[in-house]
Amino acid sequence: MAIHPIEFRYGTPEMKNIWESENKLQKMLDVESALSQAEAELDIIPKEVADEIKSKTNIKYVKLERVNQIERETNHDIAALVKGLAEQCDNNAGEYVHFGATSNDIVDSSQSLLFKESIEVLEEKVERLTKIVLDLADKNKDKVCIGRTHGQHALPTTYGMKFALWADELKRQYDRLEQSKKNLCVSMMDGAVGTTAVLGEIGWDVHKKVAEILDLPPATITNQVVQRDNHAEFMMVMANIATSLDKIALEIRNLQRTEIMEVGEYFDPEKQVGSSTMPHKMNPITAERICGVSRVVRSHVVAAMENNPLWHERDLTNSSCERIIFPEACILTDYILNLTIKLMSTLVFYDENIERNLNMTNGLIMAERLMAELTRSGMGKQTAYGIVRECAIKANKESLLLEEVILTKDKVKEFLSKEDVDKIMDPHTYIGSSQKIIDEVLKSSKNWF
C-alpha cells in the first residue's frame, strides 16, 4: 500500500526512475565492476576474473529480491550486494568481488552516479524554464504595470522587468548546479579510513583508475566518506532553486488575488474544479503547491548540514538520514520545476486590470517624478519634496487627483505648466531604463546555455 505522496502524487518518471531501487542497485554493481576492471588493469586480480565479474554486474543476474533477502539475514546492505554478486559469478571469480574496497567506497561512488543523472535532469528543466521566462520578458517588456514595495503601490515598472529578473536568477541557479556537480560527483575507492591500506601503495592508482572507468573525477582525499560539505552544498542548491520557484509562484498567487487579478494560472473551465462547495472558485493551486513543496525541500538543508560533522573518520549517523533526504529533495525539486514550467507556459494576463491598478491611486505613484521634474526646473530638491508630499497626502486623504492638487500651488506654477504636469503624470512614460535593462538581459542570455 502506498504511503508517501511521492509514490502516487508528486514526482516525475524521469527523476523517480533514477532513485528507484533497481537503478540504485545497478549503480552499485557498476562500481563493483569498475573496481574489478581497475584491479585487473593494474595486475591485482586476473583479467578473466574481472571479465566474469563485469559480465554479472547487472540486475538481470543480481536480483533486488535476492539482495534484500540476504540483507535481512546479514543486516548489512553492501555485504548483501557482495554476496548476491559473488554467487552469480562462475569459476571462483566471486572470491575476488569487492577486494580492496570498503562499503562506503561503493555507496558514495554509486551515489555520485545517481547525483550526476539527477543534476542533468534538473539542469535541463532549469534551462527550459529560464527560456520560457526570457520569452515572457521579451514579449512583455512594454507592458507597464504598477510596482509594489511593502505591499503598497510604488512606481511604474513593466512585466518584462519582472520576468527578466527571474530569468537572471534562474541562470544563477543553473550555474550553482554546475558548480555543485563538480564538487559532489566524484569517485572514491580508498578503503576503511581513506588510506587505501588494504591495497598498499598501488591503492591510489586503483582509486584513480576506478574514477576513470566510471567517468567521474577522483576525490582528492577522503577518510571513509566523501566529505559531506559537498552533499550539503548540493542540498542547499536545491533548496535555493526551490526558493526561487517559491518566489515566482508566490508573486503569481498575489497577482491573482481577486482585488488585483493582473495575471493568473490557467484554469480549465470545462474540467477543473476550484472548490467542493464554492462553484465560482478558480484557485491558484499549481502555484500554491510549488510554494508548499518548496518548504519540504528547504527543510532538508538542516539535516544535510548536520551530516557533515561525523565521529572521527566516520560514523553511520549520516546514512539513514541520506536515504531519505537525497531522493526526496531531488524528486521534489524536479517536480516543482515541472509545475513552474507548466505555470509559466500557460500564464494568463488580464490587461484591463493591469491598467486599472496602474491608475488606482489617482496619480500618487507619479509623486517622485513630479518632485524630480520640479528639481530639474530649478526648484530646490528638498522644497520640491515637501510640496509634493503635502499635495500627495491631501490627494490621498480627500480622494483627489494629485495632478489637480499640485496645480493649486502657485510655487509649482512658477516652474511647471499644466501641459508639463499632464505629461509628467503619464505612468507609461516613467519606466526609466527598463527596456535597455531587459534588452541587455536578453542579449546576454544568448550565451547562457
Catalytic residues: 150, 275
Dist. CA 355–CA 228, nearest whole Å = 51
Q: What are phi and psi of 102, to 5 degrees?
A: -110, 165
Beta strands per DSSP E along 45-130: none
Cell 545497478 belongs to 26
Strands (DSSP E) along 160-291, which ranges? Answer: 263-264
The DSSP code for 198 is G
Grid cell listed for 309: 560533522
- Asked if residue 123 lies in contact with residue 330, where contact means CB atoms within 8 angstroms, the answer is no
The grid coordinates listed for 201 are: 601503495
- Residues of 218-239 as b/e, b for ≥16 C-beta within 10 angstroms? bbeebbbbbbbebbbbbbbbbb
Q: Cα–Cα distance between 224 and 265 in angstroms, integer? A: 49
Tell me how far the alpha carbon of residue 4 is from its chain's centroid: 22
Strand segments (E) across 25-164: 144-149, 152-158
Q: Are 99 and 46 in contact (CB under 8 A)?
A: no
CB distance 30 to 37 below 8 Å:
no
What is residue 30's DSSP assignment? H
Q: Per the structure block, which three cell numbers stand in for 139? A: 514579449
Residue 228 makes CB contacts below 8 A (sequence gap 6+) with 304, 307, 308, 310, 318
Look up residue 217 and give its DSSP letter.
P
Which amino acid is residue 83, in one-letter code?
A: K
CA-based max dimension of the chain: 105
Nearby residues of 149 by Cβ (< 8 Å), 6 or more positions away:
none
